[in-house]
Every structure is written in structure tokens, then in C-alpha cells.
A and B are shown apart, each in its own frame.
Chain A
């Protein structure tokens, strides 16, 4: 073997070693500038401004007038607006629960039904995914007709005379149902993708062992799919917490505040009652809830990755 000759140093005229020029120092910031501007002006600043506002009573155009400390929070948690606030929290929690699990179940069902070949499968898949493309405002207008008391489809089909969206017993389930429909598309897409990632061999060896359909679902599909399902529940929960359009267009939070979800209550507080301070306090509550849910997701994902 021949002894290795020392390699001549590679000359890189383009890359200057040592000190960077001033421009090279600021260049990354130029690339980030538009993004940082948008985030600062429309995200960080308003977040802090919301916290600031939540410590004040404001006039009707939202200027802070009287320092109020934590009293806006006390007003909603225990004070004069607490009845409405806790009602809205209770409505929101129930709404989130039903919509998160309802749309998950619908998405899981439709995914399982289209996991194997059959004539018309592509069409069925497209229909199940389609609600992702539908605006909640457009959907709300359709459902407003469908549930209309005198000329709506439902009453005419079943011969009932229920005023669905104005009935304290029915408005909430109807709003939930519409929201489940709207959210079912994204559930279908994610759960189908999760199903496709389960290796076929698992099912093949199981059916050789004589496991039937339901046993296979319970012992193969469900465990393999559980990270997807968990992730999807979190997405559903975050999405449901932010619902507004269908409530505003169909029930205006009523009847008797039975559909007054938190974002609608923020909207009412600020833009109908002009209590911007109290609305800011509600916004911070919403922010904290979403933050906690997101942190749970981050933590769980880390567990999945490191296990």
C-alpha cells in the first residue's frame, strides 16, 4: 500500500472563513422580516393588549378607561356575569365533547367502510372528505332551510312541527349535529391515512389464525390507530372550541343561551354589549384552555416518538 500523500487544502474562494460581513449578519433577519412583522403586529401585540385590556373597564369604542385589576375575571368567574359565563363554559364543554367524539366516530366509520375495494369507492371517499371544503357559513344557510319550521325538509319529511333552532331542547343537538357534519371530512382524511399505514400482513396473519372481522378491528386496527385517533381528538377539540359561525347564523346563542359557546359569548360581550374588558378576560380564558390542550398534545407526541 502506498502511503497517503497529504491532501492540499481545498480552496473555497466563495466561502470566506472567519468573520462574517455585516450584511451576512443581517441577511437572515431580512428573510424573516415580513413574517416577524405580521406575527408581532397581529399576534404578539394583540395577545398582550388583550391581557392588558382584561384589567380595564372600557368605553363603548374599546378604550381602557377605569383600571379594574382582576375584577373582570372575578366578574365572570364569581361575580355579576358568572351565571352567563359558567353557562357558556358548560355549553362549550358539552359541545366540544359531542363534536370531538361525534365527528371522530363518523370519520372512523366512513374510513373503515372505504378501507377495502368496492365499486364506487372513489366516489364515496370523495363525498366523505368533501365537508372540509364547505364553508361553515354556506353550510349554516343550507341547514337553516333544512330545519326551517314551516318549509324545512325535516318537518315536511317527518310531518313534525318542531321549531328546531328555537327550541331549547333541540337547538343544541342540532348545532352539534351540523358541526359534526362539518368536521367529519377532516376526520375521514386523517383516519383513512392512519388506516392505510397499518401493514396488511397483520390482517393476513390474523385471518389465517381465524380471527373474524370484529376481532381484527379490536386487536389490530384499534391499537395501531390509537395515535391517529388521539391526535384527531385533539384537533377536533381545538377546532370545536373555536366554533362561531354556525351559532351566530342559526341560533344567535339562544334560545335561553343554550347554544352560547365561548367564542360567541366573546363576540356578544365585545360587539353587542361593548364590554371589551370583560370580553378580553373571556378571550384569555379561551387562550389558556387551548394552550393547555396543545401542551397535552405536544407532551403525548413526545412520548409516542421516544417510546
Chain B
């Protein structure tokens, strides 16, 4: 008996070792671009052209990012834009989803289908017309040009509605009997219950907005409102001081999105699962 369990133990240990061995190179490969970026951000300027791996790290480039470039301002802009879009979507999507799951009215299914159908419209296909609209309103180079077009999403409505549909109908009836109107019911009962779904929506939307590139590129032209993703892409230059600066800029801009990934992984993945309906 003991010999059988021993071989099984050996077999398990062997397969675990095999797994470690197979995973190591893949993990290294996936993490390589980031590790390299981080390494270059701390490489002393004197070693940039002569060495592949620095003998020591210095973090002067990070000081430069915060004192010599527009990155701090652009990070603030990114936070303003991504934060506003996130809050707006949480509000507009939970309201619309409420109508689609708790209220009865004519044309409800038709309108819901219309909203779902917008998932078929790639944002890139409407970008020219949207750009012309925004510029004809004189909105170029403003926060609202980056915020309002994203103030609602079909995916968000869908996610929130799916969540509301799991609530008991009796909840709504009971609230009505108690004389609670729909707005108060949404605010004080539905939203607190839907917190996990709202968290998922929030994490997902914030990340998507933080990582935006094309739209902010089109509608901004000054550092006043320009976002950080545009900012780091303009730092490219290969003179020795600039390399460290540029790579430090990339690291700094990655910190917020990686933090969301690390600290809100569950919410983020739930949001992604729902958002992938759109792709």
C-alpha cells in the first residue's frame, strides 16, 4: 500500500516540477517587455549604450518625469477623464437598466434590443462624424469632448440589467406598498444591492478609459487637457537622457492601471466577462 501512495506522491511531485519548468519560460517571455521597461527606466545614462543589464539602478529619471515633463498634468487629466466617464457610466447605466428590469412600458423590449444592437457599431466607424460634431460645437481640446461621448455604454446597461434581474420582484412591490417611489427605491435599495456589479463596471470602464488613445489624440492638442497615454507617446527620443525619461514615463502611466489589475482583479475580470460581449 505504502509503495503505491509513494509512487503517486512522486508522480505528483514530478508533474508539479514539470509544470514549473514549462511555465517559467512563458512567464519570463510575457513579463519581459515590462521588466525591460522598468530596467531601462533605472539604467544610469552612462551605461545605456555600453551595457545590456545595468550594474546599478538610479531613479533620477522618475524625478525628471515629475519635474521636467507635462506627464504629471497629463496624469491628472487622465484621472479627470477616466474618473468622470466611470462615474457617469455607473449613473446612466444603472438608471437605464432600472427601467429595463423593474418598469413596464410600451416598446421596452424594442428599445433594449436597439441598445444591444449598438454593440455591433465599432466606435472607430463613427469617429469621423463624432470628430466633426465635436469640432463644430467648438469642443476640441476640452475635457467634455473626451468624457461625454463615453457617458453611457450598452455593455454597462446589459451588465447592470443582468444583475437587477436576479433581485426578487417582491422587493419592488413591497417598496411600492411602503410608499417608496422608484427613484428612492433605486438609490436606497437597488444600488446598494448591486454594488458588486457596479464595482465590476467601474473597474472595467476606468481601465478602458485610462488606456484610450485614438479619441484623445484626435480631440486634444494642448497639454492642458491631453491625457497621459498621448503624453508618453510624445516622449520618444533616443538621446541618452530621454530614454530613461521615456521608460520612466511608461512605468508611471502603467501604475494606475496595474494597480486596478492587482487590487480589483475580481471586479475587473467580471467586468471583462460582461464587456467581451462587445469585444
Chain A 8-47, CB-CB to B under 8 Å as 1, else 0, gives 0000101100000000010111011011101101111111
Residues of chain A within 8 A (CB-CB) of B135 are 61-62
Cα distance, A12 to B174, chains bound together (Å): 11
A70 to chain B, nearest CB (A): 18
Question: Closest Cβ of chain A: how far from B277's Cβ, in Å?
Answer: 9
Chain A residues, Cβ within 8 Å of B128: 46, 50, 53, 62, 266, 270, 276, 279-280, 283
A137 contacts B211, C-beta separation under 8 Å: yes
Residues of A within 8 A of B96 (CB): 31-32, 34-36
Q: Is A105 an interface residue (CB 8 A)?
A: no
- Report the nearest A residue to B100, measured CB to CB: A32
- A54's closest neighbor in chain B, by CB? B128
Also in contact, A28 and B103, with CB within 8 A (given A137-B232, A186-B276): yes
Q: Is A203 among interface residues, defined by CB-CB distance under 8 A?
A: no
Q: Is the CB of B122 within 8 A of A144?
A: no
**CB atoms of B132 and A34 under 8 A apart:** no
Q: B239-265 interface mask toward A, CB cutoff 8 Å, 1 = contact, 0 = none?
A: 000010011011001100110111001
B30 touches A128 (CB 8 A): yes
Q: Does residue B60 face the partner (Cβ distance < 8 Å to A)?
A: no
State whether A39 and B118 are in contact (beta carbons under 8 Å apart), knowing that A34-B92, A132-B261, A141-B246 are contacts in the complex. Answer: yes
Q: How far is the CA of A239 from the CA of B20 in the complex (A)?
A: 32
A39 touches B152 (CB 8 A): yes
Chain A 116-159, CB within 8 Å of chain B: the 1/0 string? 11111101101111111111111111111110101101001100
Q: Report the separation of the CA atoms of residues A31 and B186 in the bound assembly, to the nearest whole angstrom.
A: 10
- In the complex, which residues of chain B have a beta carbon less than 8 angstroms from the beta carbon of A271? 218
CA distance A284 to B124 in the complex (A): 10
Q: Which residues of A contact B115 (CB under 8 A)?
A: 35, 39
Instruction: Compute how far the CA of A151 lies from the CA of B43 in the bound complex, rounded to whole angstroms.
Output: 13
With a cutoff of 8 Å between Cβ atoms, the chain A residues found around residue B123 in the complex are 242
Residue numbers in A under 8 Å from B265 (CB-CB): 126, 129
Q: How far is the CA of A252 from the CA of B30 in the complex (A)?
A: 25
B125 adjacent to A42 (CB under 8 Å): no
Task: Give chain A residues whose Cβ lies under 8 Å from the Cβ of B122.
Answer: 238, 241-242, 286-287, 290
Interface size class of A (residues with CB under 8 A): 35 or more
A38 to B91, CA, bound (A): 13
Interface presence of A189 (CB below 8 A):
yes
**Complex interface: chain A residues within 8 A of B230 (CB):** 137
Q: Does B1 contact A (CB under 8 A)?
A: no
If A38-B92, A45-B133, A135-B229 touch, does A142 touch B125 (CB 8 Å cutoff)?
A: no
Closest CB in chain A relative to B111 CB, distance in Å: 7
On chain A, the residues within 8 Å of B279 by CB distance are 234-235, 238-239
The answer to whether B233 touches A27, judged by C-beta atoms less than 8 angstroms apart, is no
Contact of A291 with B103 in the complex, beta carbons under 8 Å: no
> DSSP class of B's interface residues: helix, strand, loop or mixed?
helix
A62: chain B residues within 8 A (beta carbon): 128, 131-132, 135
Q: Specify which of A46, A126, A140, A157 is in contact with B133 (CB 8 Å cutoff).
A: A46
The contact of A142 among B16, B92, B105, B250, by CB within 8 Å, is: B250
Interface residues of A in 255-279 (CB under 8 A from B): 263, 266-267, 270-271, 276, 279
Pick the contact of A141: B126, B157, B232 (CB < 8 A): B232
Q: Name the distance in Å between A242's Cβ and chain B's nearest Cβ.
A: 5
Question: A137 to B214, alpha carbons, bound, how many Å?
Answer: 10
- Kindly state whether residue A78 has any CB partner on chain B within 8 Å: no
A193 at the interface (CB under 8 A from B): yes
Q: B2-10, B33-41, B63-71, B194-202: which one contacts chain A?
A: B33-41
Q: Per a CB cutoff under 8 Å, which of B23, B157, B250 touches A35?
A: B157
Q: Are A249 and B233 in contact (CB under 8 A)?
A: yes
Q: Which residue of B lies closest to A34 (CB)?
A: B92
Contact A42 B19 (CB under 8 A): no
Interface-lining segment among A80-88, A107-115, A216-224: A107-115
Q: B99 near A32 (CB under 8 angstroms)?
A: yes
Complex A-B: 10 CB contacts under 8 Å:
A62-B132, A62-B135, A113-B26, A127-B27, A128-B30, A129-B269, A133-B260, A133-B268, A137-B230, A146-B33
Other A-B pairs beyond A38-B151, A146-B36, A156-B52, 20, CB < 8 Å: A25-B105, A29-B105, A35-B115, A39-B115, A39-B152, A62-B132, A118-B15, A118-B19, A118-B23, A127-B27, A129-B261, A129-B269, A145-B37, A190-B273, A244-B213, A283-B126, A283-B128, A284-B125, A287-B125, A290-B122
- Which 10 residue pairs across A and B have the least CB separation, nearest first? A46-B129, A133-B261, A135-B211, A238-B279, A35-B96, A118-B19, A31-B99, A49-B129, A46-B126, A38-B152
